[in-house]
Structure 1
Amino acid sequence: MANRAFDGWFNNISKRPALAVALSILWLVLISGVAFFWHLGSLGLIDETEPLFAEASRQMLVTGDWITPFFNGETRFDKPALIYWCQAIAYSIFGVNEWAVRLPSALAALGLISLALYTIQWYLAKEDYLEQKVRPTRRWLTAALGAAIMALNPEMIVWGRAGVSDMLLVGCMDSALLCFFLGYAQPSQSQVKARWYLAFYILIAGAILTKGPVGIVLPALIIAIFLLYVGKAKEVLREMRPVTGLLITLCLSLPWYVLVIWRNGENYINSFFGYHNVERFTSVVNSHSAPWYFYFIIVLLGFAPYSVYLPLAMARLKFWQRNYWRSQERSSQLGLFAFFWFITIFGFFTIAVTKLPSYVLPLMPAAAILVALLWSDIIKDKRNFSFGDASANADMGAFPVSTSSRTPLLFTGWVNVALLSALAVAMFYVPQLIKDPAAPNFHQLIEQSGLTVLGGVIWLLCAVVLAALLVRRRYQPVLMVNVLGFAAFMVFVLTPCLFLIDQERQLPLRELSAIAVQAQKPSEELVMVGFKKPTVVFYTRRPVTYVKVSSVAGKYIQDKAAKKAQPASVLVLAQPKKFPEMGLKRSDYENLGTSGAYELIRVPFKNG
Structure 2
Amino acid sequence: MTTETSIPLGGRQKTLRSIMTSPLLLVLVIALSFFWQLGAVPLYDLDEGAFTEATREMLASGNFITPHRDGEPRYDKPVLIYWAQAASVEWLGFNEFALRLPSAMAATLWVMALWFFVRARIDAETATVAGLVMALCLQVSIIAKAAVADALLNLFIALTFFEIYRYYLQPDVARGRKYIWRAYLWMGLGFLTKGPVAVFFPVVVSFLFFLSELRLTVSSWRTFGRWFRAVFAGDGWLIFLAVAVPWYVAIYLDDGAGFFRSFFLDHNVGRFDGAMHGHGGFPGYYFAILPLILLPFTGWFLSLFKRYKSAWQDPLDRFLWIWFLVVFVVFSFSGTKLPHYLLYGATPLFILMAKHRDALLSRWLAFLPPLLFFAVLALLPMVLDVAVAVADKPHEVALFEYGRSFIDRPYVLAVMAGLVLTILLMRWSGTAFWQALIFVGILQTIFVFGVLVPRVFDTLQTPVKEAALKAKAMDLPTVVYRTSMPSFSVYRDAITPNRIPKDGELVFLRVDKLQKLVMDDPQLELELLYQRGAVALLRVRRPQ
Residue aligned with 2:537, SS: strand
TM-score (norm 1): 0.78
CA distance in 2: counterparts of 1:575 and 1:282, whole angstroms = 31
For 1:198, which of 176, 181, 186 is the aligned residue?
181
1:116-142 deviation digits (Å, cap 9, x = unpaired): 112212112xxxxxxxxxxxxxx3332
Amino acid at match of 2:117: T
Deviation at 1:582, TM superposition (A): 3.6
Is the Cα–Cα contact under 8 Å of residues 420 and 460 in structure 1 kept in the other structure?
A: no
Amino acid at match of 1:184: Y
| Alignment correspondent of 2:5 | none
| Alignment correspondent of 2:4 | none
Distance 1:220 1:459, change over 3 A: farther
Alignment of 1:589-600 (within 5 A): 589-600=526-537
Residue aligned with 1:352, SS: coil
| Alignment correspondent of 2:461 | 506
Is the Cα–Cα contact under 8 Å of residues 418 and 447 in structure 2 kept in the other structure?
A: no
- Is 1:440 aligned to residue 407 of structure 2? no
Distance 1:320 1:539, change over 3 A: closer
For 1:571, which of 506, 512, 527 is the aligned residue?
506
CA distance in 1: counterparts of 2:230 and 2:265, whole angstroms = 35
| Alignment correspondent of 2:414 | 454
| Alignment correspondent of 1:101 | 99
Distance 1:8 1:188, change over 3 A: farther
Farther-moved stretch of structure 1 (223-232 vs 255-264): 255-264
1:159-184 deviation digits (Å, cap 9, x = unpaired): 11111111111111112212322343
Deviation at 1:299, TM superposition (A): 0.9
For 2:303, which of 293, 302, 312 is the aligned residue?
312
| Alignment correspondent of 2:493 | 541
For 2:139, which of 155, 160, 181 is the aligned residue?
155
Deviation at 1:438, TM superposition (A): 6.2
Distance 1:319 1:243, change over 3 A: farther
| Alignment correspondent of 2:193 | 210
Is the Cα–Cα contact under 8 Å of residues 99 and 147 in structure 2 kept in the other structure?
A: yes
TM-score (norm 2): 0.86
CA distance in 2: counterparts of 1:446 and 1:424, whole angstroms = 17
Alignment of 1:128-143 (within 5 A): 139-143=123-127
| Alignment correspondent of 1:29 | 27
Is the Cα–Cα contact under 8 Å of residues 481 and 513 in structure 2 kept in the other structure?
A: yes
1:330-365 deviation digits (Å, cap 9, x = unpaired): xxx322211111111111111212111121111221
Amino acid at match of 2:139: E
| Alignment correspondent of 2:335 | 353
Residue aligned with 1:245, SS: helix
Residue aligned with 1:289, SS: coil
Distance 1:519 1:39, change over 3 A: same
Residue aligned with 1:441, SS: helix
CA distance in 2: counterparts of 1:204 and 1:577, whole angstroms = 44
Deviation at 1:83, TM superposition (A): 0.8
CA distance in 2: counterparts of 1:494 and 1:364, whole angstroms = 22
Is the Cα–Cα contact under 8 Å of residues 459 and 485 in structure 1 kept in the other structure?
A: no
For 1:364, which of 346, 352, 369 is the aligned residue?
346
CA distance in 1: counterparts of 2:130 and 2:115, whole angstroms = 7
Query: Which of 1 and 2 has higher RCO (CA within 8 Å, sep 6+)?
Result: 2
Distance 1:590 1:162, change over 3 A: same
Is the Cα–Cα contact under 8 Å of residues 428 and 453 in structure 1 kept in the other structure?
A: no
Distance 1:455 1:70, change over 3 A: same
Deviation at 1:5, TM superposition (A): 8.0
CA distance in 2: counterparts of 1:589 and 1:284, whole angstroms = 37
CA distance in 2: counterparts of 1:452 and 1:237, whole angstroms = 58
For 2:243, which of 252, 273, 276 is the aligned residue?
252
CA distance in 2: counterparts of 1:502 and 1:437, whole angstroms = 17
Deviation at 1:277, TM superposition (A): 0.5
CA distance in 2: counterparts of 1:207 and 1:176, whole angstroms = 9
Percent of aligned pairs with the same residue? 26
Distance 1:241 1:595, change over 3 A: same
Amino acid at match of 1:220: V
| Alignment correspondent of 2:225 | 234
CA distance in 2: counterparts of 1:220 and 1:74, whole angstroms = 34
Count of residue pairs the alignment pairs up? 516
CA distance in 2: counterparts of 1:39 and 1:85, whole angstroms = 23
Is the Cα–Cα contact under 8 Å of residues 149 and 483 in structure 1 kept in the other structure?
A: yes
Is the Cα–Cα contact under 8 Å of residues 420 and 463 in structure 1 kept in the other structure?
A: no
Deviation at 1:422, TM superposition (A): 2.4
User: Which ranges of structure 2 fall in alignment gaps of 5 or more residues?
Assistant: 1-7, 215-222, 388-395
Residue aligned with 1:600, SS: strand
Distance 1:467 1:274, change over 3 A: same
| Alignment correspondent of 1:602 | 539
CA distance in 2: counterparts of 1:58 and 1:529, whole angstroms = 21
| Alignment correspondent of 1:302 | 293
Farther-moved stretch of structure 1 (215-224 vs 598-607): 598-607
For 1:335, which of 301, 311, 317 is the aligned residue?
317
Deviation at 1:590, TM superposition (A): 3.8
| Alignment correspondent of 1:115 | 113
RMSD, matched Cα: 3.0
CA distance in 2: counterparts of 1:239 and 1:271, whole angstroms = 31
Amino acid at match of 1:149: V
Amino acid at match of 1:571: L
Deviation at 1:589, TM superposition (A): 3.8
1:511-558 deviation digits (Å, cap 9, x = unpaired): 22122112133xx2x1223532111111112222335xxxxxxxx44x
Residue aligned with 1:439, SS: helix
- Is 1:466 aligned to residue 426 of structure 2? yes
1:101-123 deviation digits (Å, cap 9, x = unpaired): 11111111110111111221211
1:65-114 deviation digits (Å, cap 9, x = unpaired): 12111010100000011111111111111111111211111111110111
Amino acid at match of 2:274: S
Is the Cα–Cα contact under 8 Å of residues 424 and 460 in structure 1 kept in the other structure?
A: no
1:392-432 deviation digits (Å, cap 9, x = unpaired): xxxxxxxxxxxxxx7xx54x442223333323332221233
Amino acid at match of 2:10: N
CA distance in 2: counterparts of 1:545 and 1:8, whole angstroms = 61
For 1:416, which of 346, 353, 366 is the aligned residue?
366
CA distance in 1: counterparts of 2:10 and 2:174, whole angstroms = 38
Is the Cα–Cα contact under 8 Å of residues 108 and 172 in structure 1 kept in the other structure?
A: no
| Alignment correspondent of 2:439 | 484
| Alignment correspondent of 1:281 | 272
Residue aligned with 2:485, SS: coil
Amino acid at match of 1:507: T
Residue aligned with 2:408, SS: helix
Deviation at 1:152, TM superposition (A): 0.5
Deviation at 1:243, TM superposition (A): 2.1
| Alignment correspondent of 2:39 | 41
Residue aligned with 2:202, SS: helix
- Is 1:527 aligned to residue 462 of structure 2? no
Is the Cα–Cα contact under 8 Å of residues 427 and 456 in structure 1 kept in the other structure?
A: no
Deviation at 1:456, TM superposition (A): 4.4
| Alignment correspondent of 2:379 | 429
1:219-274 deviation digits (Å, cap 9, x = unpaired): 11111111110232213544787221122111111121122223333322221111
Distance 1:594 1:251, change over 3 A: same
Deviation at 1:10, TM superposition (A): 8.9
CA distance in 2: counterparts of 1:63 and 1:163, whole angstroms = 20
CA distance in 2: counterparts of 1:85 and 1:65, whole angstroms = 11
